[in-house]
Amino acid sequence: MSDPTIDELRKKMLHKQLWVIMSRRVVPPEQLQPHVLAHLQHQIKLEKQGILYGAGPATLPGAAEASFGLIIIRAKDEDEARRIADSDPVHVHGLRKYELYQWSMNEGSLNITLNFSDQTYRLD
């Protein structure tokens, strides 16, 4: 059996279209701090609505604070993705600026362990 071609491999991939919001602070931390709760509540709301795929800070190894926030969302198109990004309280108040990227998730895996005996789980 011969090795698959690049096209054959790509054809089988997921090709899940998502949107990546890279959000960077543009004000001193103390100016951002009063808005963190509203930002987190907003993220949780998006999560509960099935919009938020994943989010969290991205930090260089050994750095004292995050370089940027990474937010991955589900949206039908760029306009919807921008409306979602623009609705984040830290963006509304001009405390963070963002860049928006369309992302095709092709490879990867998700591992979930469910323990029935004690009703716990683990995500890897």
Domain with residue 71: its CATH number is 3.30.70.1060
Residue 120 included in any domain: no
User: Tell me, what's the pLDDT at 2?
Assistant: 82
Q: Within 10 Å of residue 73's Cβ, how many Cβ atoms?
A: 20
Residue 52, domain extent:
6-107
User: Tell me, what's the pLDDT at 116?
Assistant: 93
Residue 114 included in any domain: no
* Count of the separate structural domains present in the chain: 1
Residue 25 included in any domain: yes
Q: Within 10 Å of residue 88's Cβ, how many Cβ atoms?
A: 22
Find out whether 57 and 66 touch, Cβ atoms under 8 Å. Answer: yes
Query: What kind and span of H or E run contains 56?
Result: strand 52-58
Measured CA to CA in angstroms, residue 117 lies from 50, 111, 120, 123 at distances of: 29, 19, 8, 17
Residue 115 included in any domain: no
Residue 121 included in any domain: no
Q: Give buried/exposed letters for 19-46 (b at 16+ CB in 10 A, else e).
A: bbbbbebeeeeeebeebeeebeebbeeb
Residue 119 included in any domain: no
Residue 80 included in any domain: yes
Measured CA to CA in angstroms, residue 43 lies from 14, 54, 71, 85 at distances of: 25, 9, 9, 10
- State pLDDT tens for residues 62-94: 999 999 999 999 999 999 999 999 999 999 999
Tokens representing residue 86 in the block: 């623009």
User: Tell me, what's the pLDDT at 124?
Assistant: 85
User: Tell me, what's the pLDDT at 72?
Assistant: 98
Low-confidence residues of the chain, pLDDT below 50? none
Residue 66 included in any domain: yes
